[in-house]
Amino acid sequence: MAARKKSSAGPAPRLGHGDFVAYPGGPTAIYDLLERLSEVAGDSPDFGTPGISLDRKRLTVRWHGEPPERVLALLADPGFEVTVQQTSYRPGDLRAEAARLLREHPGVLAAATARPEGDGVEVLVPPPVAESAGGADQAVAGINSEVPLFAEVGEAPPA
């Protein structure tokens, strides 16, 4: 089950799938819906990373395939705009692929995460590795994956 996280002055919290940060001053209705959605669907491999618009008035729920009735019932008439966005790949498969890539390529990748959009895996290539390969894309060119890889140069965030 997802837990509501509070923002703090310290480093950003490490969030798991189904967790979210409730920012001060945001409309509580969106966060309440996110909490209920995480309780109902947080363990589903089809449930992706939801997104809140910058003005905090719209919620995007990312899903692979057709959401089940219990999810659609939660999203019906919440009092604000909700969009269900279909993902190209199953978010659970992307999370598993990100873990596999990190496990199998520790010398090339500093981090790997499923993209919120559900269209592939974002990977971080440490600067020295990218530099010696001629860039982040070149560093991951030999890595086999069933999904698109979006490579950037960077270090893993502190644990």
Q: Is the pLDDT of residue 47 over 90?
A: yes
5 SS3 class: strand
pTM of the model: 0.79
Per-residue pLDDT, 48: 94
Domain layout of the chain by residue ranges:
28-86, 91-153
Rg of the chain over all Cα atoms, to the nearest angstrom: 17
Any idea which architecture 28-86 has in CATH? 2-Layer Sandwich (3.30)
pLDDT, one tens digit per residue, over 4-43 is 333 334 444 444 555 455 555 666 889 899 999 999 998 9
